[in-house]
Amino acid sequence: MGTDDLTKLMETDIWQLYEKHAMYMRNKGYYENTNRNFRFFNRDQWEGAIVDKNVELISINYIKPIVKYKVGVVTSTNYAIIYNSDNFESQEFRSVAKKASEMLTKKASKIWEINKLDYRLKKAVRKSAINGEIIAYWYWNEKDGVPKIELKSKVDVMYGNENDDEIQNQPYILIKRRSNVINAREYAKSKGVSDEEILNIHGDNYTQDESGDDSREEVDDMVTIVTFLYKKGGTVHFSESVKYVTIQKDEDTGLTYYPVAHLNWEDCEGSARGVGEVEQHIANQIEVNKTATRRAFIAKNIAYPYKVVNEDKIQNPEAVNKVGATIWVSDVNADDIDKYFKITSPGTISPDIANLQNELITVSRELAGAGDMATGQIKPDEASGKAILAVQRASEQPLNEQSANVLQFIEDIGVIIFDMLKTYSDNLTVLNETTDVMTGETVEELIIIPKSVLERLKLNIKIDVTPKSAYDKYAQEVSIENLTQSQLFLPQNQQLLEDYVSLLDDDSTMPRSKLIELLKRRKERSQVIQQMQMQAEQMQVRTQQLLAGQQDIMNISQIGTQMVNEATQTM
């Protein structure tokens, strides 16, 4: 198909809506700022600068350590999705709902593992810190029967209302992706697109709006596919198209929630998008680099001594640059040697320049909450684990907003996972692994949750937070060691231990979730022992009854024998 034929094709409605949003994002500078933010984090901080080719450019990247420190703080915990039942309409279903929510928690843990969410969460937090926002797009994988995640860049997702940061309130959402033309055509064919229309799916060069400088260079022919999501009648509808071809016509997904969650690093009033850590430091970073380059240039020219030689009076000028060599001078007195050979004194540079450079870095780090005090200059052997944690926690207070945003991000993911399981699972199968309290062996059991139960479930989601830094682990081990040596840990004080655990915060140094599991195992073990004791008592009663019966039989037999003997004697 030639160029003239392409111009006769009509752009799809989805593509026209996409172009409208792309123009808005260009005007807001989202594409340009995204590339700039990532460039300043880990690449060329002199992009676009006009300098002399002989000037050696210097970059002192203080932005990256700030971002890495803050990301490390926010991701220094383990997270887990916990489902709890809110069904109270009947006691009978209450117990069913409680068991189902426990199994859903196990299923969510498996989905977390399949999607490698520990790794992806760190990646998401890092990109959010750099560029202000990261989006998690979920889709149902028919082959595996589980939800799968894709992390999307800030510039790959467009909102119907760019002023509202609540995803579920959006009138519609556009999601774009680049796909190999061959794969795009195969995908379109699987969706029932005619062969004639498939031929209209061509490679394009719409890479100017992709995230990252390197994304503008592609090896194979690629095409942009746009996904359109909107809500109608309480459910999410879905359609897809490229520029000239509709691949997927409008279809009701059955989902109640948009399968989209976003993580903003820091909220921006009146905008659905967040503000990252890099953007606010760029101006200072540029000045630091310029100052360092100027210092190096000046030092190169004046900070080193130079040799001045009178070639007419020096017989062997090549010896000037040789260590220990003898320099032959013609017609000269010792007092006149400076007239023929001299080493200049190095110039001095004002310390104000170095002070300015260091001050820019120090003040920027302090204002960002990532100075030396925050990052912690503490010797572990000179302070207890809890003391170190107290100092760290105090310095991490400015990151409470980011930590809260991460928790909300994970909670949104938990809602999406349950919505997909409820919508696409006829009978949800969960592998339940338990430990035999007597033998310690792992017992596997397949639990089936009917769709009718899933549809009736009312859940609230709690995110379990477990600190995992080296100091957290040290303080945790000390706390456990102290507990095991106290009276609370004795079996006869089970109720006291339960009361103690109930008072602990979720993010306490003491591992609350592990203690709850311990209490559960103790109860199960106690119940098994009681059951065994009852069975032993019942067996003892039966044995006694059997022995008593046998004694009665023996007595009857003796009486019978005696009667026979007496009858024989009378005869």
The predicted-structure confidence for 133-145, as pLDDT tens digits, reads as follows: 999 999 999 888 8
pLDDT of residue 563: 66
pLDDT of residue 469: 52
Report CA torsion sign: 401, 404, 409, 412: negative
pLDDT of residue 373: 43
- Classify residue 223: in a domain, yes or no: yes
Q: Say how far apart CA 174 and CA 224 lie, in whole Å.
A: 12
Let me know: does 224 contact 181? Beta carbons within 8 Å: no
Direct distance between the N- and C-terminal alpha carbons of the chain, in angstroms, rounded to an integer: 129
Q: Say how far apart CA 434 and CA 424 lie, in whole Å.
A: 27
Q: Tell me: the pLDDT tens digits for 255-312?
A: 999 999 999 999 989 999 999 999 988 888 888 888 877 777 776 766 667 677 767 6
pLDDT of residue 23: 95
Same-domain pairing of 301 and 265: no
Same-domain pairing of 273 and 287: no
Let me know: does 139 contact 148? Beta carbons within 8 Å: yes
Q: CA–CA distance from 102 to each of 27, 56, 422, 431, 449 (Å)?
A: 48, 62, 15, 12, 11
What would the two tokens of residue 401 be? 């907003």
- Classify residue 519: in a domain, yes or no: no
**What is the CB-side half-sphere exposure of residue 373 using CA atoms within 13 A?**
9
Which of 355, 375, 395 is at the close of a domain? 375
Let me know: does 203 contact 210? Beta carbons within 8 Å: no
Same-domain pairing of 103 and 155: yes
pTM beyond cutoff 0.85: no
What residues of the chain score a pLDDT lower than 70? 1-8, 299, 301-304, 306, 310, 312-313, 324, 330-398, 434-442, 466-478, 505-509, 511-512, 549, 551-553, 555-557, 559-561, 563-571
- Classify residue 370: in a domain, yes or no: yes
Same-domain pairing of 229 and 341: no
DSSP assignment string, 451-518: HHHHHH--EEEEEEEEE-SHHHHHHHHHHHHHHHTSGGGSGGGHHHHHHHHHTS-TT-SS-HHHHHHH
Which of 261, 277, 293 is at the close of a domain? 277
Q: Say how far apart CA 408 and CA 530 lie, in whole Å.
A: 44
Residue 75 has what DSSP assignment? T
pLDDT of residue 374: 47
Q: Say how far apart CA 158 and CA 164 lie, in whole Å.
A: 12
Same-domain pairing of 64 and 206: yes
Q: Quick one: 165 exposed, middle or buried, by C-beta within 10 A (0-12, 13-18, 19+)?
A: buried
Same-domain pairing of 156 and 53: yes
Q: Please choose, from the candidates 268, 263, 29, the residue with its C-alpha nearest in 3D space to the C-alpha of residue 153.
A: 263
Q: Say how far apart CA 16 and CA 19 lie, in whole Å.
A: 5
- Classify residue 157: in a domain, yes or no: yes
Let me know: does 521 contact 436? Beta carbons within 8 Å: no
Owning domain of residue 317: 282-375
Let me know: does 147 contact 111? Beta carbons within 8 Å: yes
Query: What does DSSP say about strands 146-152 and 307-309: parallel, antiparallel, or unpaired?
Result: unpaired
pLDDT of residue 557: 67
Same-domain pairing of 106 and 128: yes
Let me know: does 243 contact 250? Beta carbons within 8 Å: no
Same-domain pairing of 315 and 227: no
Residue-wise over 511-539: b if at least 16 C-beta within 10 A, else e?
Answer: bbeebeeeeeeeeeeeeeeeeeeeeeeee
Which of 277, 303, 326 is at the close of a domain? 277
Q: CA–CA distance from 195 to each of 191, 245, 480 (Å)?
A: 12, 11, 67
- Classify residue 511: in a domain, yes or no: no
What would the two tokens of residue 400 be? 């409470």
- Classify residue 304: in a domain, yes or no: yes
Number of domains in the chain: 2
pLDDT of residue 366: 62
Q: Say how far apart CA 438 and CA 524 lie, in whole Å.
A: 10
- Classify residue 164: in a domain, yes or no: yes
Same-domain pairing of 294 and 212: no
Same-domain pairing of 211 and 309: no
- Classify residue 146: in a domain, yes or no: yes
Same-domain pairing of 242 and 301: no
Same-domain pairing of 223 and 294: no
Q: Say how far apart CA 90 and CA 286 lie, in whole Å.
A: 65
